[in-house]
Amino acid sequence: MTAPLDVLVVGAGPTGLALATQLRSCETPFRIVDRSLHRARESRAPAIQPRTLEMLSAFGVADDLVDRGNTTVGLYLHLSRRVLRVPVFDVGCDDSPYPFLLFLPQSETEATLTAHLAARDVTVERGTQLLSAEPEGEYVSCRLRHRDGNEETERARYVVGCDGAHSTVRSQAGIGFEGYAYPQTFLLADLEADGLEPGAAHTFMTAAGLLFFFPLGTPATWRMIAMHPPGAPGDEVSPDLLQRIADDWTPGRLSLRDPVWMTSFRIHNRGATHYRRGPFFLAGDAAHIHSPAGGQGMNTGIQDALNLGWKLAQVCRGAAPEELLATYEAERAPSATGYAASPTVPSPSGRAVTRPYGWLAGISPRTWLRCSCM
């Protein structure tokens, strides 16, 4: 029987890859598995915040991300009778070497982190699913199924769920996931749009609502975000619907084409009741979920991982007491809920809660971007 691992990382999105990067730098024995056969190919989270880049710079990854992304994005605010250029993404963080919001699709972020790990002899075990995880003495017995159908049992001192909103690790640990969804439905698409000034973000403010276009570059030039129009079927996302929204809200100005990804989403206010139970930990979307529009969830998840990773490494090598791990939830939970630190609104249940809309709900861009990590 092989020697037990220190850490089994379940999930190889940005959060799991960041945790693996931290553990590898500390030479902590671990494996990283993901049930998906391939990493993300859609843009998903489109931006990386300054604090995330600062943390990743310790591993030599930040500059690679900057080289792949776009740092010179302004915002054009389209009003009924005029257009204003607002330097909202030039956040003015003079104390940071990365004083900007880096526009980069999540697919490219994952590619960069995966390449970094591969160069350090770390294999992301894709097509490997966690079936069960049962504490047995000082280790967790984890049953894994590989893409060929074969199963194995791995023992690990700690198991970290970086496996998303429907986390298997969270279920195995018996940790609750509470909250609700707001009633509005939003549409999101990565596509081409004729009629927009390139290299900038565009916001159209109309009586019908807000329409956003963010520059991506790849896999499409633009990300479009809009509120689902009244009267349209709730699950409808089609090129015709997107063009209809553009025609209604920007008459005759925009021509949309060649979508590579379209989806609808609702903004959730949900989180795990605890980030840890015994040898199980949660990070990223397994612990808290946010709107996919601005990358809040990805940035928070990466920062979760880098906060937890060094602590696990220190405890596993005997350089720190087990009590150090108790600081993880205490430090990270406020960061996840901090995105909802804008004025309160009624929830579907009638009680007052804060809105998880980030800076769009009233938090200044500097506060939104400079979320804490440790």
Q: Which long-range contacts (CB under 8 A, 24 or more apart) does 240-249 make?
A: 241/187, 242/187, 242/189, 242/191, 245/187, 245/211, 246/193, 246/211, 248/208, 249/204, 249/206, 249/208, 249/209, 249/211
Nearest Cα to Cα of residue 25 among 108, 119, 94, 104: 119
- Give residue 179's pLDDT: 77
Give SS3 for 241: helix
- Give residue 47's pLDDT: 84
Beta bridge partners of 91: none
Q: What is the DSSP letter of 120?
A: T
- Give residue 234's pLDDT: 60
pLDDT tens, position by position, 255-302:
999 999 898 877 767 889 999 999 999 999 999 987 665 678 899 999
- Give residue 88's pLDDT: 59
pLDDT tens, position by position, 292-334:
656 788 999 999 999 999 999 999 999 999 999 999 999 999 8
10-residue mean pLDDT profile of the chain (374 residues): values are: 90 97 98 88 76 95 92 80 73 75 88 97 97 96 97 98 95 90 79 91 82 85 84 75 89 90 78 96 92 76 97 97 97 75 34 33 35 34
Please state the three-class secondary structure of 149-191 as a single string.
CCEEEEEEEEEEECCCCCCHHHHHHCCCEEEEEEEEEEEEEEE
